[in-house]
Amino acid sequence: MVEVTARSANWRLFGGGGYLVAAILWIVGIVLGAAGVAAVGGWLVAIAYLLVAIGHLFVAFGQTGSNGAVGKLGWGKAALVAAAVGWALHAVSSVISLVGSGAPSLVGTAIPSWLPWVAFALVVVGGLLGAVAINGRGVAKGFAKWVYFVPVVWAAIALVLSVLGIVTHWWPFLVLAILVGLTGLAYLFNRADLKK
């Protein structure tokens, strides 16, 4: 059996790396969208959402299922899975909007307009609970222990600003992409000792 150490733990490598790659694609997608290349930018953003979702699963479960950033904490894993589902729903909504609003879903009906709001709720609520679990578990150390709070809180702020119609531009999502990338960097450089 391979011993999982701080250097080999894939919650850090694949979760953090997934967040970082997603952030880069997301930023490029936003820039392309703002520059008038909406189709290409939209696909990059959809792929970025999917990579963030996959990154959440690596952060939750790690290499063996019990050595993610929340250790064996079941509710922490459930919270991160809920956030991952939210990000995956964002990817689905983005793809549907790219291929046409009338495109059928897998169940044969049009995707409802409330789907993005459900996705945001899962991202925010699951993310906040996941952040508490990551912070309390102690697998992540230093900056990596609490950094996940930052993009989740910003996502909640962006949601409120969007719902109230205060902000309708792309810049809150650019900030969110940058914060997801910083979280990925913090996880990549985390040096928690997982043998304890």
Domain ranges of the chain: 10-100+111-188
* Per-residue pLDDT reduced to its tens digit, 62-118: 876 667 888 888 999 999 999 999 999 989 888 887 887 444 444 444 567 778 789
* % of the chain beyond a pLDDT of 90: 46
Half-sphere exposure of 153 (CA within 13 A, CB side): 8
In sequence order, which residues have a C-beta less than 8 Å from that of residue 122 and are 6 or more positions away?
Answer: 82, 83, 85, 86, 89
Please give the Cα distance from 146 to 166 (Å, whole number): 28
Q: What is the mean pLDDT of the chain?
A: 84
Q: What is the mean pLDDT of residues 186-196?
A: 66
Please give the Cα distance from 130 to 79 (Å, whole number): 5
Residue 37 has pLDDT above 90, yes or no: no
| Predicted local confidence at residue 142, as pLDDT | 83
Please give the Cα distance from 194 to 183 (Å, whole number): 19
Residue 187 has pLDDT above 80, yes or no: yes
| Predicted local confidence at residue 160, as pLDDT | 80
Please give the Cα distance from 46 to 91 (Å, whole number): 5
Structural tokens at position 155: 């996502």
List beta partners, residue 68. Answer: 71
128/116: higher pLDDT: 128
Phi/psi class of residue 57: alpha, beta or left (left: φ > 0; alpha: ψ in -120 to 50)?
alpha
Residue 127: pLDDT band with limits 50, 70, 90: very high
Q: How far is CA 175 from CA 65, 109, 153, in A?
A: 31, 34, 12
Residue reference for tokens 């792929």: 47
